[in-house]
């Protein structure tokens, strides 16, 4: 991770939020800068992060740090409050492959309950790993830049999906990786198991690497337009 972004995570109000919500031993899973170009930056279709990277427990969240002002026009994040206590919805596309998005006609998807998260540059959002969320295209003439930090309690052990690179590591590399991903506290050797709904994200979308690619190549249906998400 870029040292500046890492520093923000370890030495800012974010740190307190993480301790409060995830506890004293916390890891970073991924960090990414999601950009939406002025005048047409793509939507992120509705999904639960849990569908991308289920774990042994759901003490996991994503922080969105706004690097520019985010308003209704430039593709703000939208969430459905309370959905993190509900079911894990299917994220399978029309070809029977993971598409990283829910079907907008799913009876458990209630768009009427969505709220929009806007804010000035420097504001942050926090959403639980099972919370339904998405974001509309950027229709403004300004960029939308949000840095997402996907964080977890150290005892949430990955099952598959986004973190499954760990299965390719040697035991020594895995041990190093565990240390390097600590935000604060210590790695644990005793993952916490919870009885939670899980769906594995297999078979994978034809092309992964980013949520935008997964949703496009998996054939996600759009809740923001009547048409499927356009191919690149
Ligand atoms: O960039 C966005 O608006 C949302 C990104 C997101 O939900 C994700 O990457 O999981």
- Which structure tokens are listed for 155? 């005892």
- Per-residue confidence (pLDDT) for residue 231, from 0 to 100: 40
Helices (H), 11-67: 13-22, 49-52
- Per-residue confidence (pLDDT) for residue 229, from 0 to 100: 44
- Per-residue confidence (pLDDT) for residue 109, from 0 to 100: 97
- Per-residue confidence (pLDDT) for residue 3, from 0 to 100: 83
What is the C-alpha to C-alpha distance for residues 119 and 14, in angstroms, rounded to an integer?
16
What is the C-alpha to C-alpha distance for residues 82 and 102, in angstroms, rounded to an integer?
17
The whole-number average pLDDT for the span 58-63 is 98
Whether the CB of 77 sits within 6 Å of ligand 1 = yes
- Which structure tokens are listed for 62? 């994503």
Domain 3-217 top-level CATH class? mainly beta
pLDDT > 50? residue 10: yes
Residue bearing the bigger pLDDT, 4 or 63: 63
64 CA from centroid of ligand 1 (Å)? 9
Whether the CB of 132 sits within 6 Å of ligand 1 = no
- Per-residue confidence (pLDDT) for residue 161, from 0 to 100: 85
Q: What is the pLDDT of residues 108-141, one digit of tens each?
A: 999 999 999 999 999 999 999 999 999 999 999 9
Which of 78, 137, 211 has most ligand 1 atoms within 8 Å of CB, for mutation?
211
77 CA from centroid of ligand 1 (Å)? 7
pLDDT > 70? residue 62: yes
Whether the CB of 215 sits within 6 Å of ligand 1 = no
Report the phi/psi class of residue 39: left, alpha or beta, with left for phi > 0 and alpha for psi in -120 to 50. Answer: left
- Per-residue confidence (pLDDT) for residue 52, from 0 to 100: 96
Reported as a pLDDT band with limits 50, 70 and 90, residue 178 is: very high
The whole-number average pLDDT for the span 71-77 is 95
Atom of ligand 1 nearest to the CA of 135: 3
What's the length of the chain? 232
Poorest-pLDDT segment among 9-18, 152-161, 221-230: 221-230
Task: Note the pTM of the prediction, 2 decimals.
Answer: 0.94
Whether the CB of 146 sits within 6 Å of ligand 1 = yes
Reported as a pLDDT band with limits 50, 70 and 90, residue 90 is: very high
């Amino acid at each position: 991770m870029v040292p500046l972004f890492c520093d923000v995570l370890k030495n800012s109000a974010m740190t307190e939020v993480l301790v409060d919500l995830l506890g004293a031993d916390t890891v970073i899973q991924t960090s990414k800068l999601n950009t939406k170009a002025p005048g047409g930056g793509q939507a992120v279709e509705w999904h639960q992060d849990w569908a991308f990277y289920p774990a042994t427990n759901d003490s996991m969240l994503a922080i969105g740090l706004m690097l520019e002002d985010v308003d209704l026009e430039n593709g703000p994040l939208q969430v459905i409050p309370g959905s993190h206590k509900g079911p894990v919805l299917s994220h399978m596309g029309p070809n029977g492959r993971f598409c990283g998005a829910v079907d907008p006609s799913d009876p458990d998807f209630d768009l009427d309950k969505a709220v929009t998260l806007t804010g000035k540059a420097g504001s942050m959002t926090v959403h639980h790993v099972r919370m339904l969320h998405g974001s509309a295209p950027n229709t403004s003439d300004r960029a939308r830049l949000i840095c997402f930090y996907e964080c977890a309690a150290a005892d949430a052990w990955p099952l598959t999906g986004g973190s499954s690179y760990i299965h390719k590591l040697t035991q020594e590399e895995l041990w190093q990786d565990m240390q390097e991903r600590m935000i604060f506290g210590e790695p644990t050797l005793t993952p916490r198991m919870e009885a939670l709904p899980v769906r594995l994200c297999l078979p994978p979308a034809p092309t992964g690497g980013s949520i935008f690619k997964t949703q496009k190549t998996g054939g996600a249906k759009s809740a923001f337009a009547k048409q499927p998400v356009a191919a690149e």
